[in-house]
Every structure is written in structure tokens, then in C-alpha cells.
Chains A and B, each alone.
Chain A
């Protein structure tokens, strides 16, 4: 604890108080005070190795000192709403101990022409996030359906 406070003072001395506050805010420490999960992750991160960062900014940590099976975790990029579907498929395997290849390694094996870009699950986030197939009643295209197209009187002659 003492070393933590010492290093904090060190940082303030080097960078100035404003920069340190900004850094803490960007790192999501502000939210940590309200959200225990985030704070727990932050504390957990101390001493862990950062294995990789994915395209969305999620950070993947590993700490071999931890109990086996709890030694890999993710710190989500979004601090306000985070859920497991934000992990892209290439990191999923690493994170769930399916494989020891990291997401960055797996990305190199990904065929170019396959698969859509990963999207997180937007269930419950509103109609605009819900996928409606082409024939679905709530598809915007379907809602513009008209039975017939009336003739528009345009003065021609």
C-alpha cells in the first residue's frame, strides 16, 4: 500500500496532477469507485501480463500465479455497459482455455472471404439494434410497402 501511494506521488510529481487525473479517467478508474467488478479487475490486473488488445480495445490479461482456470481474464473496453458478447470469436478460444493461441495469432489464420465482422449482442437495446429479416414485418423496408404506386400528376403539356 505504501509503495502504491509512493508511486502515485511519484507520478503526480512527474506528470502533474491534471495529467494523472486524465489518465485515471481514461483507464476507467473513475467508474471503478461505483462498479465493484471493474475495481476488482483493476486490482487483479496488478502484476498480470497484458497478452493482447483486440480491435474493440478489450484487454486480455494472464497471470500464471493465479489458480489454474482463473488465470486469464478480460478487461472490457466499455466501462459503462460490458458483457461477454463483446469478446470477438478469435479471443474467445483463448479466454475460455479452448486454445493457447491468442486472438492475434488466430486472426492470421482467418480466411479473408468468410464471416461478418463481430458485433456484440444488442438484445434489449432497442428496435434499431434488432435484426429483422427481409420479409419481417418490422423490417424498415417492409414498413414502406405500398399496395400500389399512384400516378403523380406532373404538368407535362
Chain B
């Protein structure tokens, strides 16, 4: 009995030890990757920006983007409840709240159907639009076979842009 406990205990101990090393080594790289994919989205849509400052307002996170010391736009982190998962989006707008572009950062929608929200043609539909243009079937074309995912993204982007008020500085 004692031997069995020892063996299982030792296996668990070494696994945990091994895993903590792997975790320690990969955590900073993973954090960097996430930040990079967020910031890459912003600078693609607002070319020439030289400073990005993260800001939190309540539960929401957004990024203020500067070009030569002046604010040129904002990057908003937006969550939408999709068909199979929570969708994380980056919505980049300029000072007059015109959408410069959106990017899907995270999603677990059905591959081949809802997952198409992260394809370029779908994301590009949002470019140069105002919040009031974002209506599925008019301004934005839905993905065939994935109305719920398309609707979720469109609604979440519209609402977040409508409600967005930068913090007074």
C-alpha cells in the first residue's frame, strides 16, 4: 500500500515540477504574442501611429493611439456572445467614431461556418462605416450558414462604438 502511494505521489510531484518549468518559460512569450496580435491590428488600421496607451474604463479596455503627440483614434476590445463561444474583437475607430477596421482576436465558432468571421472579406465590410450603418443584411452581409455568429459580431461592434466615450483627460 505504502509503495503504491509513493509511486503515484512521486509521478505527480515530478509532473508538477516539470509543468511549472514549462509554464514559467512560456508565460511571458504567450503574453507577448497576445499583446502583439492586438497591437498589430491597431497599427494596420491607423498607419503611422507611434504610441499606444492602454486604458481601462470600468470593465472595458481600450487603447489610445497617438501620432506625433496627438490622439488619432482608439482601439476597443469588444466581446460578443457568438453561436458556440465568446468572440473577442478589436475594433479600431478614429476620432469621429468612424470604424477604421475590425479584427477577430479569439473565437471558437464552428470551423467552416461561424469561424469564417475571422476571414478578411467579412472583417473588411466594417471599414469606413459609422455605427448606424452596421445592420446585418444592409451594411453588412452575413456569412451563409452562420447568421448567429455574423449577427453577434455586427451587434457587438455597433453597440460598443455607439456607447464609446473616451475618458476625459
Q: Is B truly associated with A?
A: no
